[in-house]
DNA sequence: AGCTTATTGTTCGTACACAAACATAGACCT
DNA sequence: AGGTCTATGTTTGTGTACGAACAATAAGCT
């Protein structure tokens, strides 16, 4: 039996499906939380949940490289949601913390953020959801 | 029993996992196919598999909006992989086709492109793979 | 102390991704 | 024919993403 190894079916490639699922997810996120992007929310959430941190360390925890986290933090600082100061013990470090405004906004949006995950997974049944998340986590 | 509805665990949100899985996939793609990006390859592949098409139509088939597909096609044209001409029947349309160079490059890379999907799904077992792809396709 | 190496943050260049506003061209309808 | 609606492509602006190169600082080693 000759299998069609030469045929490339775009719609069956993981990358393509991942891209489409991400597109849908981003649309859902933008609907639920119009005033923050997913990465901005992730950074703010980490600062609120885990406390002050250096910029690079925060980037590592939120899976953003140094160049990316910089842009995200710049925008959060411009919005007054995050404050920054030099670390007295290490002159290279910038210590970041959520401002009171940032914390308030975070707390006001957590419920919607959880709704985003719910809505994104809505096409799946309860058990499919668990299965999907477990498998997705393995591809990290 | 009080459930922690207020706690937001980043690492359990679909969006975060999708982003990380995508990051890993992009890294694998860049290793296997350094001379094209995933979107560029997708556009080229569609043109090779499905034949000439208008720019917007190609965008729809590859899940890119008009602004995005334009940039992708501009870069493919700059590399000489895609040729473009006005549609005689509809003066708005740009008819795109893979050049002979483009077709040759595509054929030389299909095997690697399939390896990308294989490598990306490598952490999963055979049956997990099918399950995952089926569920992922539902979130589209 | 002096040298080396690693870490932190910045900047630049490239490439998606989408919203919004725009110009042009077809299609349709009365 | 004239008017409306839709489709096609372009442009601009904002926001991720990442690689590469860089300066400043810290840490470790001899």
Label each residue of B74-124 as H, E or C.
Answer: HHHHHCCCEEEEEECCEEEEEEEEECHHHHHHHHHHHHHHHHHHHHHCCCC
Q: Give residue-wise pLDDT tens across range B10-36.
A: 999 999 999 999 999 999 999 999 999
CATH, domain range B11-138: 1.10.10.10
Cβ A28 to strand C below 7 Å: no
Backbone angles phi, psi at A89, to 5 degrees: -85, -20
CA distance B12 to chain A (A): 8
A54 CB neighbours strand D below 7 A: no
* Neighbour count for residue A116 (Cβ, 10 Å): 23
A to B CB pairs, distance under 8 Å: 149
Separation between Cα atoms, residue B12 and residue B15, nearest integer Å: 9
Tell me which H or E stretch contains B29: helix B14-32
Confidence of residue B7 (pLDDT cuts 50, 70, 90): confident
Q: What would the pLDDT profile of A17-55 be if each residue is shown by its tens digit?
A: 999 999 999 999 999 999 999 999 999 999 999 999 999
Strands B82-87 and B90-98, bridge-based pairing: antiparallel
Q: What average pLDDT does chain A have?
A: 94
CA angle A31, A14, A113 (to 5 degrees): 25
Q: Are A114 and A121 in contact (CB under 8 A)?
A: no
Q: Is the pLDDT of residue B109 over 60?
A: yes
Query: Which bases of strand D sit closer than 7 A to a protein CB?
Result: 7-13, 15-21, 24-27
Q: Which residue of A has its CA nearest to B15?
A: A25
Tell me which of A10, A20, A37, A64 to substitute to probe the interface with B (most B C-beta atoms closer than 10 Å).
A10
Q: Token pair for residue B9?
A: 């665990």
Rounded to whole angstroms, how far apart are CA atoms B108 and B33? 10
Interface test with B, best of A7, A9, A11, A13 (most B CBs within 10 A): A13
Q: Which pLDDT belongs to residue A82?
A: 97
Q: Tell me, what's the pLDDT at A7?
A: 83
> CB-based contacts of B129: which residues, under 8 Å, 6+ apart?
B121
A94 touches strand C (CB under 7 A): yes
A56-82 pLDDT per residue, tens: 999 999 999 999 999 999 999 999 999
Could you say which nucleotides of strand C lie within 7 A of any protein CB atom? Answer: 7-13, 15-21, 24-27
Tally of CB atoms within 10 A around B26: 17
Q: What would the pLDDT profile of A88-112 be if each residue is shown by its tens digit? A: 889 999 999 999 999 999 999 999 9
Q: Å from B14 to nearest chain A CA?
A: 6
B46-99 tens-digit pLDDT: 999 999 999 999 999 999 999 999 999 999 999 999 999 998 889 999 999 999
CATH architecture of A10-138: Orthogonal Bundle (1.10)
Quickly count: other Cβ atoms within 10 Å of residue A65's Cβ.
Answer: 11
Of all protein residues, which has its CA closest to the C1' atom of D7? Answer: B92
Distances (CA, A) of A27 to A32, A119, B36, B50, B117: 9, 11, 27, 29, 25
Integer Cα distance of B22 and B97 in angstroms = 29
């Amino acid at each position: 039996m000759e299998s069609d190894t030469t045929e490339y079916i775009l719609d069956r490639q993981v990358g393509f499906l991942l891209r489409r699922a991400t597109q849908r997810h981003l649309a859902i996120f933008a609907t639920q939380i119009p005033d923050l992007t997913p990465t901005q929310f992730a950074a703010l959430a980490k600062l609120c949940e885990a406390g002050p941190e250096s910029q690079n360390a925060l980037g590592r925890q939120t899976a953003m490289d140094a160049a990316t986290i910089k842009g995200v933090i710049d925008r959060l600082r411009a919005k007054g949601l995050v404050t920054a100061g030099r670390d007295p013990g290490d002159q290279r470090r910038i210590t970041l913390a959520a401002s009171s405004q940032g914390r308030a906004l975070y707390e006001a949006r957590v419920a919607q953020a959880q709704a985003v995950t719910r809505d994104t997974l809505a096409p799946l049944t309860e058990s499919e959801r668990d299965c999907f998340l477990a498998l997705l986590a393995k591809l990290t």
